[in-house]
Structure formats: C-alpha cells, structure tokens
Structure 1
C-alpha cells in the first residue's frame, strides 16, 4: 500500500509495508526539484535515516529495475 501527497515544494510518497511477520517501517519518498530523499525510522537508533539521490541517480535506479544483471552507463545530455 502507498499514499501520494502533493505539498508546496515536493511530492511525498509513503510506502507502507503490508502486514507481515517481519514488517518493516514505512518508507517516505520526498521528490523535490533537485533531489529525492528516502526516509525510514530506525528503532535501534530511534532516528529517521535519510538517503538523498540526485535526479540522475533516480533515473538510473528506475532503469535498473527493468534490466538484467550487469554494468550500465546511461547517456545524458549535458
């Protein structure tokens, strides 16, 4: 399950892990104009952990989801 919200400066997607025996904490994806952040609460440290991706990294990740194992370089316009 997931939710989508459009805020003033970002689109916020929350990924909710379906009920399961080893359920993970929700993941929040914040899509800004210049970056995308992924956030997840870590119970061991009692902190929200954040990963920041550039637009190029997000593009690479999206492409990687549909490709077989290997090393790839995607051409980009400068």
Structure 2
C-alpha cells in the first residue's frame, strides 16, 4: 500500500509494508519526498531509535530506476536530449 500527497514544494509518497506474514517482520513506513532537485528516503530505524535519511540527486534516481531492470554489470546512462 502507498499514499501520495502533494505539498507546496514537494511530492510525498509513503510506502507501507503489508507483505510480511508476521507483525514482527514488518518494516516501518518509507517516506519518499521528491523536491525539484533531489529525492529523500526516510525510514525509522528501531535499533537506533532514529530516522535514517538518504538523499539522491535526480541523476542518481534515474540510474536507480534503470538498474532495477538490468543484469549484473557496469553501466552509464546516456544523456537524453530534450526536445521542445
């Protein structure tokens, strides 16, 4: 399950873990905040009792999306030309 909210300067997506067979195996929500120039992923870590935050540039996000569908290897994405 996930939710999407549009804020003034960002889009916020919350991913809710519903896939585990037992409540103990469920992970905390992942909150993804998409800004104009970066994307942050935030999840509470119960071992540290604090949020873990990862910030990706938009190019890193594009590479991550591409990597999910590729086999092992080293890759470089070609820059896409923008057409008006």
Same fold at TM > 0.5: yes
Q: Which runs of 5+ in 1 are unaligned?
A: none
Within 5 A, what are the aligned runs for 1:1-78? Answer: 1-18=1-18, 20=20, 21=22, 22-76=25-79
- Specify the structure having the higher radius of gyration (Cα): 2
Cα 1:19–1:65 change in 2 (3 A) is: closer
Normalised TM-score (structure 1)? 0.92
Q: Which runs of 5+ in 2 are unaligned?
A: none
Shift of 1:44: 1.4
Tell me the C-alpha RMSD between the 2 structures.
Answer: 1.2
Moved over 4 A (4+): none
Shift of 1:76: 2.0
